């Protein structure tokens, strides 16, 4: 460990050791995720959107002119949310997305990103792109690839 680097026990100011390496690893993942989310939220906060709202806008930008059904958005979210309708309500109130019922299947609601939503993403594209390498600067390229592989294996084992 480097001089700046602290163990999770030190960060949490915990005097007793963890019950197991698995418990420590899971808590380390939670802690790291929280730190990453806070950094990301600081970047996007001035644009008046949350991390989940940013995720929805990215999904809708990728969907293009065809739009995408609400349930597809919910399934593609990085962070799953049961409140996709409320999330879309907030984005629609900000005029960043628009919705309408599918003419072929009235049970389905289609969603599109608006020009205002595209403008927000355009302003965030460069800073968000630069943030990734900055946040992972303490890892080598090989370690980043190893981390990706380990996290993919972990998620696959949980599915």
| pLDDT tens per residue across span 73-107 | 999 998 887 789 999 999 999 999 999 887 777 67
Q: What is the mean pLDDT of residues 26-47?
A: 93
- Please give the mean pLDDT across all residues of the chain: 90
Contact 113, 57 (CB under 8 A): yes
Contact 130, 59 (CB under 8 A): no
Residue 37 lies in a domain: no
Give the C-alpha separation, 70 to 88, whole Å. Answer: 9
Query: Which pLDDT score, from 0 to 100, does residue 3 have?
Result: 46
Residue 5 lies in a domain: no
SS3 content of the chain, % helix, strand, coil (to 5): 65, 10, 30
Residue 1 lies in a domain: no
Residue 20 lies in a domain: no
Where residue 85 sits, what CATH number does that domain have? 1.10.10.10
Within 94-136, residue ranges assigned H as helices are: 115-135
Give the C-alpha separation, 54 to 48, whole Å. Answer: 10
Residue 157 lies in a domain: yes
More confident residue, 16 or 111: 111
Q: Does 108 score more than 90 pLDDT?
A: no
Sheet architecture: strand order including 109-113: 68-69, 109-113, 97-101
Residue 11 lies in a domain: no
Structural domain boundaries, residue 107: 47-159
| Percent over 90 (pLDDT), the chain | 71
Q: How many domains, the chain?
A: 1
Q: Does 2 score more than 80 pLDDT?
A: no
pLDDT-derived band at 11 (thresholds 50, 70, 90) equals confident
Residue 4 lies in a domain: no
Tell me 14's DSSP state. Answer: -
pTM: 0.86
For tokens 């480097």, the residue is 2
Residue 78 lies in a domain: yes
């Amino acid at each position: 460990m480097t001089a700046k680097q602290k163990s999770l026990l030190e960060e949490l100011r915990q005097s007793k050791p963890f019950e197991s390496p698995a418990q420590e690893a899971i808590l380390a993942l939670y802690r790291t995720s929280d730190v990453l989310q806070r950094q990301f939220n600081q970047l996007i906060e001035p644009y008046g959107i949350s991390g989940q709202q940013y995720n929805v806008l990215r999904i809708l930008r990728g969907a293009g002119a065809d739009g995408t059904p609400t349930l597809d958005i919910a399934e593609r979210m990085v962070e799953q949310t049961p409140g996709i309708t409320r999330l879309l309500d907030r984005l629609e109130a900000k005029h960043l997305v628009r919705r309408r019922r599918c003419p072929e299947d009235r049970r389905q609601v289609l969603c599109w990103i608006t020009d205002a939503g595209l403008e927000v993403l355009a302003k965030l594209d460069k800073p968000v792109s630069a943030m990734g390498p900055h946040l992972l600067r303490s890892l080598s390229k090989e370690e980043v690839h190893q981390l990706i592989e380990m996290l993919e294996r972990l998620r696959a084992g949980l599915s």
